[in-house]
Amino acid sequence: MNETPPHFSIKNNYQKYPGKYSDFLTNDILRDICFRITGREEYTVDFIEETNVGKLVLLEYNNAVFYVLVPDLAVNGRNSYFQSFPTSIVKYYNDPCMERSIYFYFLPFKGNNTTNYYKFLYRLMATAGVSFLNTSEYLPFEIHPFTTLEDIVAIRESNRNRNKSNNSTYITKSSDNTVEIFGKTYGANKKETTLLCLALSNILSERAKLYIICEQNLTNLPAPDLAVIDSLNKIEVVQTTTTMERRELELNNSLRSARFIYNLLDKLGPKKCAFCDCDIPQLIQGAHIWPVAKIKRQHQLTLDEKLKYSTNRDNGLWLCENHHKLFDENLIMLNSNGEIQFSSEISGSSLTYLTGSTPKTSLDLEFINENVELYITKRYS
């Protein structure tokens, strides 16, 4: 029996907000956390000066270290509520201690923490290895880790607000069946990218790619986050900078741009052919309405303007391989209202085939706007 009682180190990040840690991390709460993890009720406690560790209570006992994520109740809004947790989880993954485990401890919550989005993030945390200590007292559901990529994608998608740009993280599959994660690195969502990668690393059987969409070449995921993702050896990180894209655009007449794919995922949702609704991601490509080769011939435009048009969300459609080819060859065309038309070259059995394999007669109205109409006009001018 170890005579040294469990010892808490509480990071002072909790002090940054009105209502210090001592107001809500009371002796009762610490005793409860201690008992649930170690089976002991007596403990000692220190408050530690340390920044950038998130909201974190460390408990040490018998050479083991227990990370306990405790939400900061002085923080309002779901993004600030969640943003500190991935930071703490990254610190946990980077901890060399072999005997470590990580927990989440609920406190009385202002507002509703049972929304689908909260549930999604709790499940991501569980998939990343977090155990929840007192769920039954605060939530009407249990928190189960995700077991498949498809689960994550489906739940993620059901939380999306279709009417506006979410600027968040997207998962899809490429034509060669590689799992691809597209993450932005600024704003509140960058921490979601990290959390998603940690969760995916625990369930993916094959290596995936994380495309980091950098803004103005200035942003990246935080170095500790990248180090952890790299160390798990499941996800290859691919940086996408505007410098790289400028070079690619100069060299090629097509543009394999992670930013373009990201923008289409952000606008159109998961891959689904605009002409036939095929949603097998391995068959779906990002097609330009105003083709890159044509944009490049606009000598009045600067390179950056050309890049902007080549990656614009309104200049793209999801098309399956067949329809992409037919669109590129102008065997299928769009009129300026987004109606789908067949070339007069096509007749007989080809026309029968095309009619049968192209059930849609128009682009979805929700995706058409003035810009889309402008790109269609430019395509055929």
Min dist CB 321 to Zn ion, Å, is: 8
Helices (H), 314-369: 321-328, 348-357
Give the C-alpha separation, 119 to 144, whole Å.
10
Min dist CB 214 to Zn ion, Å, is: 32
CB nearer to Zn ion: give 30 or 320: 320
Min dist CB 353 to Zn ion, Å, is: 13
Give the C-alpha separation, 223 to 214, whole Å.
14
Contact, 43 vs 30, CB < 8 A?
yes
CB nearer to Zn ion: give 113 or 322: 322
Q: Which two tokens stand for residue 106?
A: 């609920």
Min dist CB 282 to Zn ion, Å, is: 13
Min dist CB 357 to Zn ion, Å, is: 7
Longest alpha-carbon distance in the chain: 88
CB nearer to Zn ion: give 237 or 333: 333
CB nearer to Zn ion: give 181 or 332: 332
From residue 284, give the alpha-carbon distance in Å to each of 172, 176, 182, 277, 294: 10, 11, 16, 10, 22
Min dist CB 273 to Zn ion, Å, is: 3
Applying CB under 5 A, the residues found at the interface with Zn ion are: 273, 275-276, 278, 320, 323
CB nearer to Zn ion: give 97 or 280: 280
CB nearer to Zn ion: give 292 or 320: 320
What is the residue type of 105?
Y
In the beta sheet, which residues pair with residue 341?
A: 333
CB nearer to Zn ion: give 27 or 175: 175
Non-local (6+) Cβ contacts of 84 within 8 A are 13, 54, 55, 56, 69, 72
284 φ, ψ to 5°?
A: -100, 135
Min dist CB 340 to Zn ion, Å, is: 11
298 φ, ψ to 5°?
A: -80, 90
